[in-house]
Structures are given as structure tokens and as C-alpha cells.
Structure 1
Amino acid sequence: MEADIAKKEQTQKRHYFYLNELQSMARELPGKHQQRLSYDLLSHLANALLDGTVFAIVSSLKEVQQLEERNLFNRRVKMLNEHAAKKQELMKKQSEAIQSCRSKPHSLPLVQAEYEAQWSELESNYSDELKRQDMRIILELDQKMLDQQSTLEKAGVPGFCVTNNPLEVRIQMYLLDFINRISEMQVPD
């Protein structure tokens, strides 16, 4: 019986600690965002943090996101490196062709004009390809965000639902930051 009472008191202490920390963090936010973080929301979130499951879920989602971001970054860098290598190859080929025109100086302006056109087309193609790649990356990151929102909503974490509303997404980002910061704190006994 006394063990149950002690356990309940300990749980209530942790709840108050989490709630106090969440309220303190919320006060650091701009006013328009503070208004969205009601006492009830923060209290329910503090309650959800008590068993540690939310911390584990958020940590896991963070790891997966970091892996995905590294993968997307590496894909983009690989494309840029391929573009740079092809540009170097074209420059070398053009330089060699210009050198061979020394015996025919009258054809040099035509060759140079042709190479400038090739270079301009290459730059345009690479720019378009990079824009398409960046759009794919943005869409993949947006999908990752929706997946995370869904996971947190299904886990019953207060404040989370699937949305593209920028204000709601910002609030969820703040909540994730709060959860991460609290997970690193030493909870008093």
C-alpha cells in the first residue's frame, strides 16, 4: 500500500516537473505560438511523457529522419559531382578542339560559338535536373513529415495530427523540440 502511494507521488512529481518545464519552454516562444499551447495541451503532453514511450518514439523518428536527410543530401552531392565531372570532360574536349584549330584560325570563331552554345545548353539542362532533384527531395521530406505526424498521432501524443498547415506544423516542431529537450534532462526523484 505504501509502495503504491509512493509510486503515485513519484509519478505526480514527474508530471509536475514535465508540465513546469513545458510551460517554461512555451513562454520562450513568440506570442502567436504561445497561444496555441494551452495549459490542457501541455498537461496532457506531460502526462504522455510519464512512461517514456513518447521519448523512445521521438528518438526513433529523429534517427530515421537524420538517416533519410543524409541519404537525400548524398544523392544531391552525387548529382552535383557527376555534373562537375561532365563539365570538366566537356571543357577538356573543347580545349583540345580549339588547340587543333590553330592551323585553321578562320574556323576558330565558329568552333567557339558552337562550344558556347553547347555549354549554355549543358548549364540549362543541369539547372533543370537539379531543380527536379530538389523538388523530389522536398516531396520526400514532406512525406516523411506526414509519416511522423501520423505515427505520433497514432501513438496518442497530444498536439499531433496529420496536417500541412504551416502554423500547426510549426507548433508540432516546437513540441518535438520540447520533448527532445526534456528527454535530456535529469528528472528529480
Structure 2
Amino acid sequence: MELPRLCGFEAAEQQQEEQREEVLSRQQERHYRLLAELQALVKALPSACQQRLSYTTLSELALALLDGTVFEIVQGLLEIQHLTEKNLYSQRRQLHSEHRGLKQELFHRHKEAQQCCRPHNLPLLRAAQQREMEAMEQQIREEQRMMDEKIVLELDQKVIDQQSTLEKAGVSGFYITTNPQELTLQMNLLELIRKLQQKQAEAEKSFS
């Protein structure tokens, strides 16, 4: 009496095994396709960059891209980066505008003072005004330097955030580093992911 139940259990197990094999087969097929597309994209890079992007690196990258999560992560990181850059550029432009306004205001104030000044006092007035203008220009240079330092620090922090996030996501080649060669490699990997994402989006659009 137990035989039919046992046969049914074995059939269910066999069906599950076949489904697992089918899923693995589809994943393997997608992995090969992603790898082939990455290899094609790499050919457009400078030869020095191509040498750093070995078959193993590209194969590991293709594996990380299988479920599409990394595409979403990279898209989010790039959007944050663009917003940060836009905000920092806006702050720098605002500071430049304020400085221009201060210089114009000082220039007009100096001009009015000279018009009201007695001729024999003009040399002293102009000397004092020159010192005031130089002091303002020094202050402006210092504020611009501080703004530029702030921009560099914030952009560096965004790079660290990207490295850390992609390392945690298991993307090969990403870890926190300031080594210029490694940063170039990571930038190339990001560019490959972005181009592959665009390519897939265009393919999906053409099928829809």
C-alpha cells in the first residue's frame, strides 16, 4: 500500500531536481551571454585597461550581474554621485557670484569716496583702498580654496561609499583604495556595467 506514495514522492523529487537543473542551465546560459557581452565591450577600452581586465575578472563580474541587483545598485550610486556633483557645482557657482557682488560693491564704494575726496588726499585714499581691495581678494582666494577642498573631500567620500557598497554586493575588483591604478580599473568596471545596462535596456525596449 505504501508503494504508490513512495513512487509519487520519488517523482516529485525528480521533478524538483529537473527544475533545479533547468534554473542552473538558464543561469549558466545568462552568465555566458553576459561574459561575451563584457568581452566585446572591453575591446573598446585602451589596451592598458584591457590587460587588467582578465577573463577571470570579467567572469566574476558576469556572475555578480546575474540577478540584476548590481545594475540597480550601480544606477542608484551614479544618481547619488550626479546629484552630489550638481549640488557642489551649484554651491561653488553661488560662492563665485557672491564674491563678484562683493568686489563690485567695493569698487563702487571706492569710486564714490574718490569723487568726494579732496585732491590732496587722493593718494592716501587710493593707497588705503588698494590695501582694502587686496585684503578682500585674499579673503576670496581663501574661501575659494576652502570650497575646493570641501568639494574634493565630498567627492572622495562618494568614491569610498561606492567602493564599499559594491564590495559588499560581491562585485569583483571593488574595495576601498586610493591607488590610482586600482581606481582606474574600478572606473572601467563601472563603465562596463553602465554600458551593459544600457544595452540590455535597449534590447528590452525593442522587444516590448
Residue aligning to 1:151: 165
Aligned pairs (5 A) from 1:87-106: 87-101=103-117, 104-106=118-120
Cα distance in 2, alignment partners of residues 181 and 41 from structure 1: 17
Report the CA distance between 1:17 and its aligned residue: 2.1
- Name the structure 1 match of 2:175: 161
| Counterpart AA for 2:28 | Q
Q: Larger C-alpha radius of gyration, 1 or 2?
A: 2
Equivalent residue, structure 1, for 2:73: 57
Partner residue, 1:140: 154
**Quick one: distance in 2 between partners of 1:157 and 1:90?**
55
Taking only the aligned residue pairs, the percentage that are identical comes to 47
Matched residue count: 187
TM-score normalized by the length of structure 2? 0.83
Alpha-carbon distance between aligned partners in 2 of 1:18 and 1:100, rounded to the nearest angstrom: 77
Which one is further off, 21-30 or 149-158? 21-30
1:67 matched to 2:70? The reply is no
Matched, 1:174 2:195: no
Counterpart of 1:111 in structure 2 is 125
Distance in 2, matches of 1:137 and 1:150, equals 20
State the alpha-carbon separation in 1 of the partners of residues 31 and 21 from structure 2.
Answer: 15
User: With structure 1 as the length reference, what TM-score do the two structures score?
Assistant: 0.91
> Structure 1 stretch 49-58 or stretch 73-82: which is displaced more?
73-82
Matches within 5 A, 1:21-32: 21-32=37-48
Could you say which structure has the greater relative contact order, defined with CA pairs below 8 angstroms and 6 or more residues apart?
Answer: 1
Runs of 5+ unmatched residues, structure 1: none
| Corresponding residue SS for 1:114 | helix
Specify which of 130, 137, 143 is matched with residue 129 of structure 1.
Answer: 143
- Structure 2: tracts of 5 or more residues without a match: 1-14
SS class of match (1:51): coil
The aligned amino acid for 1:130 is: Q
Mapping 1:41-52, distance limit 5 Å: 41-52=57-68
